[in-house]
Chains A and B, each alone.
Chain A
């Protein structure tokens, strides 16, 4: 019972932080420099893990599908399945999980150590708002950057799938390409990208919330870092199911 109450209380606190973050971000003056720093930190610097994850996921997907479809003589359609899987599900989800692990834990560690060294108190005492200074640029950067990273993951993932399909099944690259164009619709792309917007928000807000609520010195910072990854990943996985359900109901 106590666990449920604590869970609901944290959920409420996260909701309040979300509202505060939203309003803090748009309150003038909008601060561009920390935002750009976070675009770089959360977004640009995540490109390598995104590419690596997407490439190998695309390749392994193609490998599995081509083998699985072979008994039915349908392995030439590997590209169709792999592309749908990547764009609708694996691109957004795996990118979010990997970037979430990297960025969310970073936010929690950074804000957590600022809390235990009284830097967050100092920000308030010096007349500034920690939510505007620290939380808003981080959450906003995640919301913007995650869809972009997901698009990158989609392209690389399909590229990886093409590489394997061409080699293993023996279709030509242009056949593969025209299949992709036939199969993928804008709605498929949007389905994945809209999810990734939500994922970006979850990564950012969980990392910041956990970081700001750090207690207990350096040990607490370590705990927060772990917690940000675990809670973030669970949040991503659970919300993914419901978001998918929602978007399927809306767009089919």
Chain B
């Protein structure tokens, strides 16, 4: 395989007395879709936020595109963040701005081009997520699923090399879950990017993924392809998959 595009090595993180990561190591390769699974509250989102420098680490090393992220300050992170597209769990759209202004936000920050070129790009990405013609709506007028899709449009507006999905399907109805999963797959094909998906939704996980990493006991305890994961003999992996798919037939102690 090629060189990893992103490396976590021995990462440690705690919030006060609560230890989230003890010795977390994970490689992400260019072009793949990696899904990170794990129970709620185990800090899956924290991993994405440390990677983009939104949260600091307590120890260890995180490299992205060959640069050490943990040693960069806010300004130094700028060029790296530009190469990431981040879909936040709630969409994190700016309430006071319209859909178009939301998508233009990163374009403006990075001086994408003229107003016309930006309008054109907004139209393009809205079309990609299947929401053409919603430019002038405010986020409050959108449903949960639409808000996530606009969030996704905003995340891909800058043509990122890596897209980070934080719980993309949580809180959505089954139709929207399938729609988002379909989008993740089609964007993967169309844009040829690397994707990291954090989720506890096993169905989505197996639909979209090349490789699965499981978070357990404050570290990445298992990585493998979707196939390997399904056939895994490790107890906590089996339990998580069975529980997540609703086919758990044994008691959990």
Residues in A lying within 8 Å of B, measured CB to CB = 117-119, 121-122, 124-129
Cβ B110 vs Cβ A121 within 8 A: no
Q: Do A125 and B94 contact each other (CB < 8 Å), given the known contacts A118-B88, A118-B89?
A: no
Chain B: minimal CB distance from A52 (Å): 29
Q: Residue B54 at the A interface, CB < 8 A?
A: yes
A-B pairs, top 7 by smallest CB distance, nearest first, are: A122-B92, A126-B106, A118-B92, A125-B86, A127-B109, A118-B88, A128-B109
Residues of B within 8 A of A121 (CB): 49, 54, 86, 88, 92
Q: Can you list 6 pairs linking A and B with CB atoms under 8 Å apart?
A: A117-B90, A119-B93, A122-B92, A122-B94, A124-B53, A126-B105
Which of B77-85, B114-122, B234-242 contacts the other chain?
A: B77-85
Residue in A closest to B106 when the chains form the complex, CB atoms: A126
Chain A: minimal CB distance from B234 (Å): 33
State the CA gap A121–B81 with chains docked (Å): 12
Chain A: minimal CB distance from B18 (Å): 13
Count of CB-CB pairs between chains A and B under 8 Å? 45
Q: How many residues on chain B are close to A (CB under 8 Å)? A: 22
- Chain B 87-105 interface residues, beta-carbon cutoff 8 Å to A: 88-90, 92-95, 105
Q: A119, A127, A129: which contacts B92 (Cβ < 8 A)?
A: A119
Q: Residue B194 at the A interface, CB < 8 A?
A: no
Q: Residue B154 at the A interface, CB < 8 A?
A: yes
Q: A117, A119, A124, A127: which contacts B54 (Cβ < 8 A)?
A: A124
Cβ A118 vs Cβ B90 within 8 A: yes
Residues in B lying within 8 Å of A, measured CB to CB = 49, 52-54, 74, 78, 81-82, 84, 86, 88-90, 92-95, 105-106, 109-110, 154
State the CA gap A129–B73 with chains docked (Å): 12
Q: Do A127 and B74 contact each other (CB < 8 Å), given the known contacts A117-B92, A118-B88, A122-B88?
A: no
Residues of B within 8 A of A122 (CB): 86, 88, 92-94
Residues of B within 8 A of A124 (CB): 52-54, 74, 81
Tell me if A's interface is mostly helix, strand, loop or mixed.
loop
Q: Do A126 and B89 contact each other (CB < 8 Å), given the known contacts A119-B94, A121-B49, A121-B54?
A: no
State the CA gap A144–B185 with chains docked (Å): 51
Q: B78, B88, B90, B95: which contacts A127 (Cβ < 8 A)?
A: B78
Cβ A125 vs Cβ B84 within 8 A: yes
Residue in B closest to A129 when the chains form the complex, CB atoms: B74
State the CA gap A53–B92 with chains docked (Å): 39
Residue in A closest to B54 when the chains form the complex, CB atoms: A121
State the CA gap A117–B105 with chains docked (Å): 17
Cβ A125 vs Cβ B54 within 8 A: yes
Chain A: minimal CB distance from B231 (Å): 36
Residues of A within 8 A of B92 (CB): 117-119, 121-122
Chain B: minimal CB distance from A106 (Å): 13
Chain B: minimal CB distance from A114 (Å): 8
Cβ B94 vs Cβ A127 within 8 A: no
Chain B: minimal CB distance from A8 (Å): 18
State the CA gap A125–B110 with chains docked (Å): 12
Residues of A within 8 A of B89 (CB): 118
State the CA gap A120–B89 with chains docked (Å): 13
User: Considering residues A118, A125, A129, which has the most beta carbons from chain B within 10 angstroms of its beta carbon?
Assistant: A125
Cβ A127 vs Cβ B49 within 8 A: no
State the CA gap A117–B92 with chains docked (Å): 6
Chain B: minimal CB distance from A26 (Å): 15
State the CA gap A122–B86 with chains docked (Å): 8
Residue in A closest to B53 when the chains form the complex, CB atoms: A124
Residue in B closest to A215 when the chains form the complex, CB atoms: B15
Residues of A within 8 A of B109 (CB): 126-128
Residues of B within 8 A of A126 (CB): 81, 105-106, 109, 154
Chain B: minimal CB distance from A184 (Å): 43
State the CA gap A122–B54 with chains docked (Å): 9
State the CA gap A118–B94 with chains docked (Å): 10
State the CA gap A129–B95 with chains docked (Å): 18
Cβ A125 vs Cβ B81 within 8 A: yes
Residues of A within 8 A of B154 (CB): 126
Chain A: minimal CB distance from B169 (Å): 17
